[in-house]
Structure 1
Amino acid sequence: MSVVKINVLTVPAEQRETLEQRFASRAGVVENADGFEWFELLRPVDGTDKYMVYTRWRDEESYKAWMEGSMKQAHQGGGDRPKPAATGAEVWSFEVAQHAAPKNA
């Protein structure tokens, strides 16, 4: 059963463009991770300062393996690494209980 992880990032208005640029230029490592199914960066439109980073995985084990491997390496930096664009973050976890796709897809 697929699992969904939503990383909720608090991003001040002056850092929104920086955050989006960093995601646009990311290394793309997640796309090659075993068990990876989907990624979306969701921009807020209703006056909130919360971005959501949506990823879907084949199972919890695939997500954990990515977190302990490639993701951990990608987020380790040297002394010249820029400061984070987000001022806060939390991860929400879900299992996919139902799924629907367009009938003519």
Structure 2
Amino acid sequence: MSIVVINALKVPVEAGSELEARFAARKHSVDGSPGFEGFQLLRPVAGEERYFVYTQWATREDFENWRAQRAGHDHAAQAPVASGMDLLEFDVVDLG
């Protein structure tokens, strides 16, 4: 069963384009990770002010392994764009 992990980022309006540019610069960096199934960056339009970083993984273990591998890669060379974040996790329900 796949899982979806959404990172909800609080980004000031004036920093949205910078966040998008940073994600565009590394948009395929997760592609080769075991169990990775997809990624989308969702820009707020109405009813929400946060950006959502949506990823889908084959298993929770695949996500946790990827997360552990990138623990030391915090992008410290650049000043943060987001002022806060919430991590949301969901199981994908098989309705078959």
Task: Return the letter of the residue paired with 1:75.
Answer: D
Q: Tell me the distance in 2 between the aligned counterparts of 1:99 and 1:38.
A: 20
Deviations 1:28-68 (A, max 9, x none): 32101000001000000016320000000000000000000
Q: Which has the higher helix share?
A: 1
Q: Tell me the distance in 1 between the aligned counterparts of 2:90 and 2:84.
A: 20
For the aligned residues, what is the CA RMSD?
A: 1.8
The total of aligned residue pairs comes to 96
Deviation at 1:27, TM superposition (A): 6.2
Q: How does 1:54-69 map to 2 (within 5 A)?
A: 54-69=54-69
Match status 1:89 vs 2:85: yes
Secondary structure of residue in 2 paired with 1:17: helix
Secondary structure of residue in 2 paired with 1:23: helix
Q: Which runs of 5+ in 2 are unaligned?
A: none
Task: Return the letter of the residue paired with 2:88.
Answer: W
Secondary structure of residue in 2 paired with 1:29: coil
TM-score (norm 1): 0.83
Question: Given the superposition, is the C-alpha separation of residues 16 and 76 from structure 1 closer, same or farther in structure 2, using an over 3 Å criterion?
Answer: closer
Deviation at 1:13, TM superposition (A): 0.6
Q: Which runs of 5+ in 1 are unaligned?
A: 101-105
Secondary structure of residue in 1 paired with 2:31: helix
Question: Given the superposition, is the C-alpha separation of residues 28 and 85 from structure 1 closer, same or farther in structure 2, using an over 3 Å criterion?
Answer: same
Q: How many percent of aligned residue pairs carry the same amino acid?
A: 40
Deviation at 1:74, TM superposition (A): 3.4
Aligned to 1:103: none
TM-score (norm 2): 0.90
Secondary structure of residue in 1 paired with 2:14: helix
